[in-house]
Every structure is written in C-alpha cells, then in structure tokens.
Amino acid sequence: MTGGVRTRFAPAPSGSIHVGNARTGLFSWAFARHQAGAFVLRIEDTDASRVTEEAFHGVMDSLRWLGIDWDEGPEVGGPHAPYRQSQRLDIYRDMTERLLSRDDAYRCYCTEQELEERREAALARGEPPGYDGKCRDPKVRSAFEAEGRVAAIRFQMPEREHVIDDLVKGEVRWPPGQLRDFVIVRSDGTPVFLLAVAVDDMLMAITHVIRGDDLLASAPRNAAVIRALGGTPPAYAHVPQVNGADAKPLSKRHGSTSVEAFRERGILPEALMNYLALLGWSKDAETTFLSRRELVDAFELERVSRNPARFDAEKLEWMNNHYIQSLDDDDLASRCLHFLSVAGLSPDLELLRRAMPLVKERMRTLSDSVELLRFLFTDDIAPDEKASEVISNAPDGYLKGVADGLADLRPWEAEGIKAKLDELAAAAGLNRTKGFQPVRAAVTGSTVSPPLPESLELLGRERTLERLRAVS
C-alpha cells in the first residue's frame, strides 16, 4: 500500500508524555512515513480539569526532540483544522444532533445512583454489567424529562456481532449484546472520548489508527459511531502495552517514565527513539541499532509483536552509551554543556571538548559528565568520604612529595605525567594503583575519574599542585 495512508497520534496533555504513549506515536509516525502517507498530531484536551498549556507545549517539544514531526496539527495547520479537540466542540454538537435525528443516539436521564443499583442487581442475577437500555423507550424518556431531569446522550449500539480485523491482534469478535449503549455526551454537554475520537477520525480521513491495546474495546464502538455518521472506519492496529520488570504496565511506580524525564537524565533522542522502536517491533533478529531513516524504511505492522514488551532501563542506558561514543567531540561537548550548566558549573567549551575522549566510554548518560568532569570546572573541590579515606591512608608526606616531583616537569603532558607518577609511586614502595589513587582523590575529590595523567594535563600544573598541597 502506498499513498493515501493517514495516521494520527492523539495524546491528552495532562502531563509529560509517557514513553509507552510515545512509542505508539513513533509506530504511527513510522508507518505513515514508510507508506509515503500523512501523519497527523491531534490533541485530546476536552477535559479542562486535567489539561494545561504547559503540558500541551511539552508534548510537542518532546515529540520534536524525539524526531517525530507531523504533517498536520498544532503549529503546522492543515485542511482539517483545528487539531485541538477543545476547539472542535461545535463540530461534536453538530454530529450529536445528526445521530439524535437518525435515532442512532438518545437522551438518557438515568442517575448515577440508579445506574449503580441496576448494575449491582444484574451482577446478583449473574448477568454481565452494562447499560440495560431503559431510556431507549420514548415513554420512559418523556416521563423522566417531565421530572426535570438533566440528560446525558447515549449511542444506541447495534445489537449484533461486532468484528474488528485488527492489524496486530488479528480478528477480534464481540458477540451480540456484549457491547451496550454508551454515553457520548455527558450531562454537562461535554463530549466523551468515544464520540470525539470517532468524529475526528472520520472527518480527518484517518485510514489507520495505531494505539495501545488498552483501547481495543473502544474500536467497535468508534467504528459503530463512524458508520452511523455515514463514514468508513479506519483500520485498527492495537499495540501491546509496555510493561515494567514486574510484568505490569509501565507506570510511575517503576520510576520516571516520561520522555522528558529521560531527556533530563541525559538520554540522547537517537537512543530513546531506537530503543522505543524495538519495544515490540523488530527489523530482524540481528538489528539492535538503527537510525531514524532505517526505521522508516523497514517499518511494517506485520513485525509488531502481539506480546507485551518489557522496558529495560539498563539496556536503554547501554544503547545510550553506544550513541554517546558515536558522537564527535564537538557534538558531545555541546550536549554535555547543558548538564554542566544546570549543575552550576561554567565550563570552558574548548577544555570540555578536549575532555570528551577521556569520558565518553564511561558515560551512560549525558548527566554523568557532571560528576566525571566537575573537578575541571570548579576549584571548590571537597573530597568525598571515600576520597578522604584514601588521602588519610596515603604514606606520610607522599602527596607533598608528588607535588614537589611534578613541580618542575616539562612539558606538562599526559605521557610525562604518567612516567613521573610511576617513578614517585615506586620510590614510595607503591604499585601504580595505590600510588595513583591518593593523587586522584586529592585532585578530583573522588576515587573515580577519567584517566589520571590525562586529567592532570587538562587541569594544568598550577591547579594540580595547589590541590595536592592543600591536603598534604
């Protein structure tokens, strides 16, 4: 299939976008791009109590950061604007009136208490819960209306078998009577998800809906509304959810799971896009790393697994290290600059660039640059607990002797520094490890640092000697 494909991603901006939602957005985007179709961003923001403008803009920023662009949607426009559901309320009202006029929908005056009582009675009789159709009867509606009750609006679900030929799940069937009439407009006049999604998918000519399988039961309802309005339902592809290590759907109990949280930790967008793409989809058994272009070229729904994917933060960081190592020094330095600045440091960009070869293999996230390179960009170095212990256990006078031994070293380069440190350690009866560690602790404030001779070269002679003598 080429051309004519239109997919959409419709997040609700009630907070930072969850990586599970971002993955379905990525799949929808990749499918559209692979098919040379159009990708639409639509914002589901009818619930004013949960939606914020900050979150709305944050969703778009996170998508762009990941490399997901859209052909139609907010800040881009398009022939089916507006693309925020809160700006389409008149459209939903018109469509609701059309459904009412055709008797595909009706006003329902049942109260929440009455619905709950009838639900409990149905369960007590061993019957499945669900709306019993009481307000389908015009006489009942007239009586309730005469009482002055406020009405919601329900869609009248056709009493037949409903079938969805899902592009991931395969054929899914609901027997007659299982899918009951459902509310499409609340009593306060606001549209429900089941109405707004169906209307928008129809009017925006969406051909394929790719979303999480927690919404599978919505598909026959969405399709029924679209047919009642005279449209053709899209093809549905319901992707299994992303689980945590406990095999339960990924959520905040597993730690920070939003795109923004991973971005703030220093995960590269290339790495996160790559990792999310391989959660429940694969190009082939051998491919681990793939670019944005390679994903688009290879993406087919037939390769999406029917089984839930497990989110592995360790593997994501491993992949992130791969991408960090692939960056050139200038690029990596510019990306680390943000994290160092947030930590209150003011790094010299050229010095930072020179430090990149020393740390890129050790960095699992960009934020690791702060602790690895803090010693270079501040002289406020206080040895941590382990470093203090190493310093106190050094032979008497050792660090002063190292400072004196390095003072006249010319030129101040890593190779000569290493040879001098080896010489001084041997003279004190220490091997390299035991000789280097007190120096590292004194100069960096930590027992973990980039290679010591190279670190001292970058730090410079005067700053190195000053720190050694400060703890001597």
- Within 8 A by CB and 6+ apart from 117, the residues are none
208 membership: H or E segment, kind and range: strand 208-212
Residue from 303, 301, 306 nearest 35 by CA: 301
Using alpha carbons, list the distances in angstroms from residue 278 to 310, 321, 364.
10, 17, 19
Contact indicator for 85, 44 with CB cutoff of 8 Å = yes
Angstrom CA distances, 384 to 50, 415, 437, 448, 451, stand at: 44, 28, 13, 11, 19
Catalytic site includes residue 252: yes
Longest dimension (CA), the chain: 104
> Strands 170-174 and 162-166: what pairing?
antiparallel
Structure-block tokens of residue 428:
């004190």
Q: Are 69 and 38 in contact (CB under 8 A)?
A: no
* Tokens encoding 135: 């307000």
Rounded to an integer, what distance in angstroms lies between the CA atom of residue 187 and that of residue 153?
A: 7
Would you report the helix, strand and coil content of the chain in percent, each value rounded to 5?
Answer: 50, 10, 40
Go through 203-234 and write b for each residue having 16 or more CB atoms within 10 A of its CB, e for each that does not: ebebbbbbbbbebbebbbbbbbbbebbebebb
Backbone angles phi, psi at 152, to 5 degrees: -95, 175
Sign of the Cα pseudo-torsion (351, 352, 353, 358, in order): positive
Residue of 248, 252, 315, 386 marked active site: 252
Residue 5 DSSP one-character state: -
Which residues carry out catalysis? 252
